[in-house]
């Protein structure tokens, strides 16, 4: 059997020699895809025993569990949140009734930025892209009648992640649920905010200090909670290639690891609770290879560079979301096909949990019907196909193994560059990752506009007229109702108690004491998200973006 045809060859011979075939395609990472792969296309030192291993064993290329989905399928999460806490609570109950096995909370921009709903900068954004959470009272409403000891909850929150986690713990305590029984994840990955999203608050140094405080707090208070979900998803949505996605994500993770170690924690104290968050694009083969490469790199780093001894410290556990940026407003029903292919890539790549986007998300917030269809897509894959019948369907595929090696090599080269710049934080301060992502996004845009990269319904197979669509809209009165609710919280609380709690928080932030215990007491006293973040802004300052490249 032959190896891959050289990517330098201008054209691939047809099997019958009659005419040349098309030139090799490039992956999203810019790597060539050969028309044919065979064993000679693998690295000279390629050894299945070293490079693959068994499922559930080092280097975890084939998955982190021995049985993977043959025992039970992945966790089916649906990302939801809009308007008020009461409206989002109703959607969560619908999702649970439809069979979702994990909730994933979307917060509005003011909450993500640490502002109350009545702050001037919040005007026009309250409840628009997620649920508005101002105080403990909102969190109670958000999870009303939802058993927090039986539902795993993921919260997409970063700069104020500690606040939302503590509110969740307080609500569980009010429900009579012990903290050690709570399971879920906070995203808590503020470094990617400086690279790709912009919803940061504090300078990187103070953000890392807050992350380390969360690690320490959860070690004793919430031992089953995933303290961080280091995210490549948002960098991918900004234009990062698959190789960049895993390189920049793992480099950020190393910065969090070193920060925690600097506080005196042992690697095995916190590494088992680290998790990751990746995108699943429509380029199925490259995505499967990406997930395999990421697991292998992480396992080697934890074992060899940090001398982790607990096998769970070596396991790269990740959540996946299908690629929202690849959904189109044109012919939106085609997004059902895209989401299905993307979900299949995530599952074949070995994800631990999955959110499937709704087909109408390029137009507006998902309707109840489209959200249910997105969940049903996962259920069809899990129960009506045979992909859960065997542990690792792609193992040993010449194409997948070669593509895995290629992506791993490209990612390691990028990680070496970041290390030479002084690590992820220093590279962020220089604008390196942002610059590289923008270059990749520009290349993909050029290829799409030229027609070289086909997007069905956009640059090929267009349709002159589109069927009318009635999207979900957030009631403009939501902001008024939420600010009125916030006024009531401030009116009926003990202001003296709030002032004292915020003063104790400021003292902890100015020193080296863990800030989460005084933060929790401030929340219990009904201090608001904005008041607590303003206290930290006063002590730590805020981050101003700049680029040195």
pLDDT in tens, 120-130: 999 999 999 89
Q: How confident is the model at residue 547 (pLDDT cuts 50, 70, 90)?
A: low
DSSP 45: T
Percent of the chain with pLDDT over 70: 93
Is a pLDDT exceeding 70 seen at residue 330? yes
Q: CA 336, CA 496: separation in Å to the nearest integer?
A: 54
481-511, pLDDT tens digit by residue? 999 999 999 999 999 999 999 999 999 999 9
Q: What DSSP string runs through 455-480?
A: -BTTTBS--SS------B---TTHHH
**Average pLDDT for the chain:** 91
Mean pLDDT value of segment 153-163:
95
| 250-273 pLDDT, tens digit each | 999 999 999 999 999 999 999 999
- Give bridge partners of residue 82 from the DSSP assignment: none
How much is the pLDDT for 37?
Answer: 80
pLDDT tens-digit profile of 271-289? 999 999 999 999 999 999 9
Considering only 22-26, 122-126, 313-317, 337-341, which range has the smallest mean pLDDT?
22-26
Q: Sketch out the chain's domains with CATH numbers.
A: 67-450 (3.20.20.240)
Digit-coded pLDDT (tens) for 58-100: 999 999 999 999 989 999 988 888 999 999 999 999 989 988 8
The confidence score (pLDDT) of residue 306 equals 97
**Residue 5's pLDDT band (boundaries 50, 70, 90)?**
very low
User: What pLDDT is recorded for position 464?
Assistant: 83
The pLDDT of residue 69: 95
Q: How far apart are CA 407 and CA 24, in angstroms?
A: 17
Q: What is the pLDDT of residues 378-430, one digit of tens each?
A: 999 999 999 999 999 999 899 999 999 999 999 999 999 999 999 999 999 89
What is the side-by-side order of every strand in the sheet holding 75-80?
225-226, 184-186, 152-156, 102-106, 75-80, 353-355, 318-322, 274-280, 228-231
User: Which whole number is the average pLDDT over 198-203?
Assistant: 93
Residue 218, pLDDT > 70, answer yes
Give the pLDDT score at 510.
97
Give me the numbers of helices (H) and strands (E) for the chain, helices first please. Answer: 21, 11
Residue 10: what pLDDT? 39
pLDDT at residue 118, as a whole number: 97
Instruction: Return phi, psi of residue 495, to 5°.
Output: -65, -35
Whole-angstrom Cα distance, residue 47 to residue 377? Answer: 37
pTM of the shown model: 0.87
pLDDT higher than 70, residue 4: no
- Asked if residue 376 has pLDDT above 50, the reply is yes
Task: Name the pLDDT band for 341 (thresholds 50, 70, 90).
Answer: very high
Q: What is the pLDDT of residue 225?
A: 95
pLDDT band, residue 15 (cuts 50/70/90): very low
d(Cα 117, Cα 128) in Å, to the nearest integer? Answer: 11
Residues in Cβ contact with 170 at an 8 Å cutoff, skipping those fewer than 6 apart = 136, 139, 520, 523, 524
pLDDT tens for 143-152 read 999 999 998 9
pLDDT in tens, 449-485: 999 999 999 999 998 887 777 777 778 889 999 999 9
Q: What is the pLDDT of residue 475?
A: 82
């Amino acid at each position: 059997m032959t190896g891959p045809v050289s990517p330098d060859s201008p054209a691939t011979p047809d099997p019958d020699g009659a005419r040349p075939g098309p030139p090799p395609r490039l992956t999203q990472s810019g790597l060539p895809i050969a028309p044919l792969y065979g064993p000679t296309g693998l690295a000279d030192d390629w050894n299945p025993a070293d490079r693959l291993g068994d499922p559930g064993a080092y280097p975890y290329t084939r998955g982190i569990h021995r049985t993977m989905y043959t025992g039970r399928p992945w966790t089916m999460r649906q990302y939801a949140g809009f308007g008020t806490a009461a409206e989002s609570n109703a959607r969560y109950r619908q999702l649970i009734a439809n069979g979702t096995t994990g909730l994933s909370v979307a917060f509005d921009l003011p909450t993500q930025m640490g502002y109350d709903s009545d702050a001037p900068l919040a005007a026009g954004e309250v409840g628009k892209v997620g649920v508005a959470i101002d105080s403990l009272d909102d969190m109670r409403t958000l999870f009303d009648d939802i058993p927090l000891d039986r539902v795993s909850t993921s919260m997409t929150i970063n700069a104020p992640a500690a606040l939302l986690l503590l509110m969740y713990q307080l609500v569980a305590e009010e429900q009579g649920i012990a903290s050690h029984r709570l399971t879920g994840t906070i995203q808590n990955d503020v470094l990617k905010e400086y690279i790709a999203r912009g919803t940061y608050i504090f300078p990187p140094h103070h953000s890392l200090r807050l992350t380390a405080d969360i690690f320490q707090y959860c070690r004793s208070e919430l031992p089953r909670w995933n303290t961080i979900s280091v995210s490549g998803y948002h960098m991918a949505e900004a234009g990062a290639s698959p190789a960049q996605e895993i390189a920049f994500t793992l480099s950020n993770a190393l910065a969090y690891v070193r920060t925690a170690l600097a506080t005196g924690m042992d690697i095995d104290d916190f590494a088992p609770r680290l998790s990751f968050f990746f995108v699943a694009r429509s380029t199925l083969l490259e995505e499967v290879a990406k997930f395999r490469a990421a697991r292998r790199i992480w396992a080697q780093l934890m074992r060899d560079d940090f001398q982790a001894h607990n096998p769970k410290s070596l396991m790269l556990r990740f959540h996946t979301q299908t690629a929202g940026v690849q959904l189109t407003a044109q012919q939106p029903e085609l997004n059902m096909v895209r989401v299905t292919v993307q979900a299949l890539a995530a599952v074949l790549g070995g994800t631990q949990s999955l959110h499937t986007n709704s087909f109408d998300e390029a137009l507006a917030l998902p309707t109840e019907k489209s959200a249910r269809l997105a969940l049903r897509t996962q259920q069809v894959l899990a129960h009506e196909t045979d992909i859960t019948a065997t542990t690792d369907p792609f193992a040993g595929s010449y194409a997948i193994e070669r593509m895995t090696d290629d992506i791993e090599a490209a990612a390691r080269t990028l990680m070496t560059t970041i290390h030479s710049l002084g690590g992820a934080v220093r590279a962020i301060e220089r604008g390196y990752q942002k610059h590289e992502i923008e270059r990749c996004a520009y290349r993909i845009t050029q290829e799409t506009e030229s027609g070289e990269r086909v997007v069905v319904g956009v640059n090929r197979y267009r349709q002159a007229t589109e069927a009318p669509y009635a999207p979900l809209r957030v009631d403009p009165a939501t902001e008024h109702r939420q600010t009125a609710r916030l006024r009531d919280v401030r009116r009926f609380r003990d202001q003296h108690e709030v002032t004292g709690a915020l003063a104790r928080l400021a003292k902890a932030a100015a020193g080296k004491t863990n800030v989460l215990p005084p933060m929790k007491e401030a929340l219990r006293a009904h201090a608001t998200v904005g008041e607590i973040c303003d206290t930290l802004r006063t002590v730590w300052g805020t981050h101003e973006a700049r680029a040195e490249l």
